[in-house]
Structure 1
């Protein structure tokens, strides 16, 4: 049975660990590694798009990171319950033309008993920035 520790039920310490592990995985820019944090039948709502499987998560991330360079992400825990973690994130990247962007938003992740994300709801706002405005 596939599991991703720490497992629910979350307490503050394990919720913070889960957020940090997620941040670390995303900063590898490895679509396979990141997608393994999601249940096989995950459901991810992201800015008008619904992704329904782990394979779709992986494919989404492949396309994303083929167009985003120098990607760097920071996540922060906001609140949690026994199976849900909500937080804020911010990341910066350059596109194919060299334009820098900062994206920020909120996410709510619902975990199954094996510590995999079964549902993720994400809102994101992208803004153009100058290289001198980078924070990450």
Structure 2
């Protein structure tokens, strides 16, 4: 039996938003194994200049990422969708081990299989240093963004 990650295609606006929030919640867990289960076993990624193939490589990539990016907080927002694809814009904040803060902005294009697993992910990301006082993403711990926390549009990002 194949794995399934509802909602599954074809996507409506509501189900695309639900899929995006599930992805955001997963990434905010900073748990590479958990996040990798949302992707096909042979998923293909382009993340900045890095090309990643398959779940094992996804886990390795995310493990490296969250070792360097501390206090990681991410917000994703729908840009567009069709029946099997979703485009999102996102921003995340983190600090490095020297206490320097950063905000990254980007866009992702996602393609899903019939079981709702992401088979392709193409990410374009730009990063900027910020002062700690410029941070906008505040919730207590790694985990889901609280429902009352503003999204990207409400934050002017």
TM superposition score normalised by structure 2: 0.85
Residue 10 of structure 1 aligns to a residue in which SS?
Answer: coil
Any residues of structure 2 matched to 1:101-112 within 5 Å, and which?
101-112=102-113
Q: Distance in 1 between matches of 2:118 and 2:102?
A: 27
Q: Distance in 1 between matches of 2:50 and 2:30?
A: 21
Alignment partner, residue 17 of structure 2: 16
Alignment partner, residue 132 of structure 1: 133
Q: Distance in 2 between matches of 1:23 and 1:108?
A: 14
Q: Distance in 2 between matches of 1:77 and 1:132?
A: 27
Is residue 2:112 matched to residue 1:116?
no
Alignment partner, residue 46 of structure 2: 45
Q: State how many pairs are aligned.
A: 136
- 1:80-101 CA deviation, whole Å, 9 max, x = no partner? 0000000100000001111000
Gaps of 5+ in 2: 138-157
Alignment partner, residue 96 of structure 2: 95
Q: Which structure has more strand as a fraction of its residues?
A: 1
Deviation of 1:47 (Å): 1.1
- 1:6-26 CA deviation, whole Å, 9 max, x = no partner? 000101110000000000111
TM superposition score normalised by structure 1: 0.98
Residue 14 of structure 1 aligns to a residue in which SS?
Answer: helix
Is residue 2:68 matched to residue 1:67?
yes
Q: State the superposition RMSD in angstroms.
A: 0.6
Deviation of 1:49 (Å): 1.1
Q: Distance in 2 between matches of 1:5 and 1:26?
A: 17
Q: Distance in 1 between matches of 2:6 and 2:59?
A: 20
Q: Distance in 2 between matches of 1:132 and 1:88?
A: 23
Alignment partner, residue 84 of structure 1: 85
Alignment partner, residue 31 of structure 2: 30
Residue 23 of structure 1 aligns to a residue in which SS?
Answer: helix
